[in-house]
Amino acid sequence: MGVSRHGFADDGACLACLYLPTGAVKNEHERVAEELRIPDAHQEIRTPLQTRRPVPEPFVRRVAAAFGVPFDALQMFVGQPVQTFYRNAICGGLMVGLTGGAHAGMAVVPMVFQSALAGIMLAADLVKHAAGMPAASTTTTRINLLRPLAPVLGDPRAKDTSGRCICCDRDFLDAYRRRYRLT
């Protein structure tokens, strides 16, 4: 997690540069179905995900069976949107609690506190900016929560050089300059 700083129409990396995919990325319905351990159901939950349609009881029963947890523990999600079910059961850590984290195979580990820490870092950068203090010299300041705190947190990221990023697109740049009256 971390905080990054961008000018867009300068020589630095833009926000999109940092997340430019280098290969095929899974669709949301595929990722959610996998994390709910019913990967074959990805087409089935595609529309409910898009329309926030509530999940029926048989669906919740299948997820409970896939995780090996009693249906009673998940019954509260019947009739709720898929997003609510997914967010609370997986992202909120309910499944880790129910399975004791000991279920064989991959576990999705919630680290919701990292969003809070990223918010604190962003607030610190905004206070610095508002106070007229010089901006950090690196594009990104990053902390890896799975390792000890590194002595250097600055992560200089270069602008994308493949030409695929929006910051290399003349139309995007023209619109940006017009919007912020930079021309």
- Nearest Cα to Cα of residue 85 among 50, 60, 111: 60
Contact 160, 167 (CB under 8 A): yes
Q: SS3 for 3?
A: strand
DSSP string for 74-120: TGGGTTSBHHHHHIIIIITSHHHHHHTT--SS------THHHHHHHH
Here's the x/- map for Zn ion, 108-147, by CB under 5 A: it reads as ----------------------------------------
Q: Does 16 bind Zn ion (CB under 5 A)?
A: yes
Q: Does 167 bind Zn ion (CB under 5 A)?
A: yes
For Zn ion, the closer of residues 23 and 163 by Cβ is: 163
Quick one: which segment of 13-21, 48-56, 138-146, 149-157 binds Zn ion (CB under 5 A)? 13-21
Q: Does 17 bind Zn ion (CB under 5 A)?
A: yes
Contact 49, 32 (CB under 8 A): yes
Shortest CB 71 distance to Zn ion, Å: 47
- What is the binding site for Zn ion (CB under 5 A)? 14, 16-17, 160, 165, 167
